[in-house]
Structure 1
């Protein structure tokens, strides 16, 4: 479980850095920057941990943790990037967490 949580956290952090590195860029060369590089590195590290988890756990259990990545990216979008959280979306995130708990439990 700790391996999956770490993989989800790294993937989510990578996604946030990819967004920060891509925001406002237009030409292809603009996407070659430190934030994009760091985002790819973190996302890649998360993928390696994900593969390690696949070697130890059933796919049905591991795959459920993609939901955790979704929730972490959503929360980071709201709290770090100051994107707007719609009340109905917050309810959806809560349902996703409940589903993850039911599958992982």
Structure 2
């Protein structure tokens, strides 16, 4: 069960990253508040909302010290999506920083055992 909840946390991070990309698309070139009421912004809000629900579900049974490092996954995914979907460039320093965040996430996440037998 806890492994499934960790999957929910990962999906929540993916949805949050997609929400950020949607926000960027909806905000591009706009300055007036009324311009931010568009389908991209609405889509980003929905993605964030669903991601938040998955995150809360995961929080219901997984220790925060195990789960919270997965929030860093959102940072990595946003960088990847910005490059792939938006055509943005990642500098060598940005790439190195993203790799360090990913390495840190791996270290923290792999230091905990997910035991389905525990409540």
Which TM bucket (shorter chain)?
A: over 0.9
Q: Taking structure 2 as the reference length, what is the TM-score of the superposition? A: 0.85
Distance (whole Å) between structure 1 residues aligned to residue 66 and residue 47 of structure 2: 22
Within 5 Å, which residues of 2 pair with 1:37-48? 37-48=42-53
Deviant stretches of 4+, over 3 Å: none
Q: CA RMSD in A?
A: 0.8
Cα deviation for residue 15 of structure 1 reads 0.7
Aligned to 2:3: none
Aligned to 1:29: 34
Distance (whole Å) between structure 1 residues aligned to residue 50 and residue 31 of structure 2: 27
Distance (whole Å) between structure 2 residues aligned to residue 56 and residue 69 of structure 1: 21
Distance (whole Å) between structure 1 residues aligned to residue 93 and residue 65 of structure 2: 28
Runs of 5+ in structure 2 lacking a partner? 1-5, 111-119
Distance (whole Å) between structure 2 residues aligned to residue 61 and residue 38 of structure 1: 29
1:26-68 residue CA offsets vs partner (Å, 9 max, x unmatched): 1111000001000000011101111111111111111101110
The number of aligned residues is 105
Q: Which structure has the larger Rg over C-alpha atoms?
A: 2
Within 5 Å, which residues of 2 pair with 1:1-105? 1-105=6-110
Distance (whole Å) between structure 2 residues aligned to residue 61 and residue 40 of structure 1: 26
